[in-house]
Amino acid sequence: MSCLYCSKKSESFSRSVALGGEEYHHDFPIDDLVGNAIQVFSEIYRCSDCDSIWKIQSRGTGDPRSTYPEYYEQTATLLKGIEREAVVQPTLDNLLKLGEISMPYDFRTSVLDKLKEKEKQNLIRLYREQKPDLDSSIKFWLEKWYESIAPEEFRRFKEDGFHMGANSIYALPENSKIISSEFYTLEDFVIWVEEGEDGRSYLQSLNHKTGKAGWKTDLPAPFSGGMKLPVLFYQGGYLCTLHGLQMGSEHYSRLNRPDRLRVYSTDGELLLEEHLSWKAYEVISPEERDYSENRTVHNFRVTIWDDSLYLPSGHSLKAFDLKNKKEIINLSLPDGHIFSGKLQIDEDGKILAYTMKGFILFDAKWKILSSWKSPYHPVFMDSNMNVFYYYAHVENPRTHVVKEFQQKMESGVSLTHFLRTTPAPLPNGYFVPFAYDESYILNFDLEIVKKIPYTCTDTLGPHALDDKPEPTLVTENRLVFCEDYKQIRLFSLEGEEIRVSPSEVPFVNLFTFDGKNICFVQSNYTGYGVDDNYLLTLWNPEGQEINQVKLRSLEGFAVSFHGYLIFKYQSELLCIDLFKGI
């Protein structure tokens, strides 16, 4: 007998045997399918009579939950068209024509091994094109092979096109890493460095124009092991750092809290060190679940206003005068209110403190004028006293307006909308992104001004990934939002679309450094190698591209008001002028 094709014109065949006990393998014969078979590649055979090419594979199968396979199956497929062509004529061209067609797992790399001398120049060219859609086994093979035949050229190529226009402004000590960095003037910034094996930690001030080092001060270890908080931030003329760890839960790191807050002057003087008593818990009561879904509630923030620091401490609101370094107030809040850390003071000196479920309004002497507390956990509240919940309920305790936003489906059923991320305040209202690919622009009276048939990345839902960056941004005249693996969209504040840019990758960061221009960072993983690869894009408010920079590192990433980007790569601190050349 020759093969199933010459004997019976069959083009496919399969059979299986049941496995018993701990058996997980069965040897099937080949020669009753293709007699006098010539093996040309692993799992690929040629019939010496009719020249048919057969792919013959065996594998275990059955219930995927069982430890051992229940059956062993053999399948034979006659290869035709490009699959046959690639086997008979294994050229680079034919290999690439295969695209994503399934072949035995080492077929592509076996062909490449055969071609590496004959098609050397084409293979080098192919690698350097870094095409994203090649089969991953080809990408991996090319990467290893190129490195082995030309290590120096490979290294230069890997650096090529990255960090365009970067200047080194500061050399960091060996074995150091930057925890965080932050600008506090147009040119001055601090880096939080952790150095050496023992992790000595300090703040170092630097000037990006001169590269000159200024003050330096030792720090305790940073807060880590919880949710991703900015552990170094600048607010109201002061620099703040977060340290230590208070375990909130053995199993849920988002409930872990920092232990200490330090506040520094911009001259590096330590003004205050305060033990923190912050709150964090999950929404679990069934009634509250009608309003919020699987949300972590916490008050991890502080307000610095007019040289005073306001922070939550247990059930109290504490305030410190940073100029005179003394406590001004330690106020226990009524009705189970817990201060959120957010506070605003109006021109008459009236103080609006946001609590975790409501508001308290004080006069300038801290006498309570009014207060309101929701039975549920709001996702967002603002000084107009509009209160938004996850399941698209909105209410206003002052005007008593209550609304619930719904999506009318084609079938006639109305489904309650739910939020993808926190509503973004606009000068005349809010941008509210929902699921089901729909967002609203609302005015302050909670009336729908415009519906937008798109939405942004989910950061609030039960399936949202932890620590996603804020996917919405409002600048002085623009609204921007991004949706991972789909697009970034730019609108006027009235909701007219200006630009959409598709994106097949996740967004790492969306921000403005000057309130006008729009900057975003995307993960730029191509499947070649394991190096970090990010793409930073800068748009002007019209959505025109000002600059695009490829980055190998986001360590110590910060951008000044004038668009100077600093970051650490290897042991250098680099600086790029994002506006250079325009």
Per-residue binder mask for Zn ion (CB under 5 A), 316-355, x = binder: ----------------------------------------
Q: Binding segment for Zn ion among 47-55, 141-149, 400-408, 441-449 (CB under 5 A)?
A: 47-55
* Sole residue written with tokens 């290590």: 151
Closest CB to Zn ion among 35 and 425? Answer: 35
* Sole residue written with tokens 């205050």: 272
- Residue 258 and residue 261: Cα distance in Å, rounded? 8
Structure-derived torsion over alpha carbons of residues 572, 576, 581, 582, reported in degrees to the nearest 10: 180
Instruction: Decide: is 52 part of the binding site for Zn ion (CB under 5 A).
Output: yes
Q: Which of residues 5-24 bind Zn ion (CB under 5 A)?
A: 5-6
- Residue 141 and residue 125: Cα distance in Å, rounded? 14
> Exactly one of 50, 88, 409, 448 binds Zn ion (CB under 5 A); which one?
50
Check: CB of residue 525 under 8 Å from CB of residue 537. Answer: no
State in angstroms the smallest separation of the CB of 7 from Zn ion: 7
Closest CB to Zn ion among 53 and 191? Answer: 53
State in angstroms the smallest separation of the CB of 32 from Zn ion: 13
Torsions phi, psi of 254, nearest 5?
-70, -10
Closest CB to Zn ion among 3 and 331? Answer: 3
- Residue 520 and residue 582: Cα distance in Å, rounded? 19
> Exactly one of 49, 188, 282, 321 binds Zn ion (CB under 5 A); which one?
49
Closest CB to Zn ion among 10 and 148? Answer: 10
Q: Binding segment for Zn ion among 42-50, 154-162, 322-330, 554-562 (CB under 5 A)?
A: 42-50
Q: Binding segment for Zn ion among 49-57, 150-158, 352-360, 444-452 (CB under 5 A)?
A: 49-57
Structure tokens at 474: 């409002």
Closest CB to Zn ion among 2 and 277? Answer: 2
The DSSP secondary-structure symbol of 289 reads H
Nearest Cα residue to 444 out of 398, 406, 479, 489: 398
- Residue 564 and residue 543: Cα distance in Å, rounded? 20
> Exactly one of 19, 37, 44, 47 binds Zn ion (CB under 5 A); which one?
47
- Residue 59 and residue 295: Cα distance in Å, rounded? 44
State in angstroms the smallest separation of the CB of 530 from Zn ion: 45
State in angstroms the smallest separation of the CB of 36 from Zn ion: 9
Closest CB to Zn ion among 13 and 162? Answer: 13
Instruction: Decide: is 30 part of the binding site for Zn ion (CB under 5 A).
Output: no
State in angstroms the smallest separation of the CB of 46 from Zn ion: 9
Structure tokens at 85: 């062509």
53's CB contacts (< 8 A; 6+ apart) are: 40, 44, 45, 46, 47, 78, 79, 83, 84, 87, 88
- Total residues interacting with Zn ion, rule: CB under 5 A: 8
Closest CB to Zn ion among 4 and 142? Answer: 4
Check: CB of residue 481 under 8 Å from CB of residue 469. Answer: no
19's CB contacts (< 8 A; 6+ apart) are: 25, 26, 60, 68, 69, 70, 71, 72
State in angstroms the smallest separation of the CB of 74 from Zn ion: 18
Q: Binding segment for Zn ion among 40-48, 416-424, 475-483, 553-561 (CB under 5 A)?
A: 40-48
State in angstroms the smallest separation of the CB of 55 from Zn ion: 14
Closest CB to Zn ion among 36 and 136? Answer: 36
State in angstroms the smallest separation of the CB of 54 from Zn ion: 9
**What are residue 575's DSSP bridge partners?**
167, 566
Torsions phi, psi of 373, nearest 5?
-135, 130
CA 228 from chain center: how many Å? 11
State in angstroms the smallest separation of the CB of 85 from Zn ion: 18
Rg of the Cα trace of the chain? 31
> Exactly one of 3, 353, 432, 559 binds Zn ion (CB under 5 A); which one?
3
Instruction: Decide: is 115 part of the binding site for Zn ion (CB under 5 A).
Output: no
- Residue 27 and residue 4: Cα distance in Å, rounded? 19
Binding site for Zn ion (CB under 5 A): 2-3, 5-6, 47, 49-50, 52
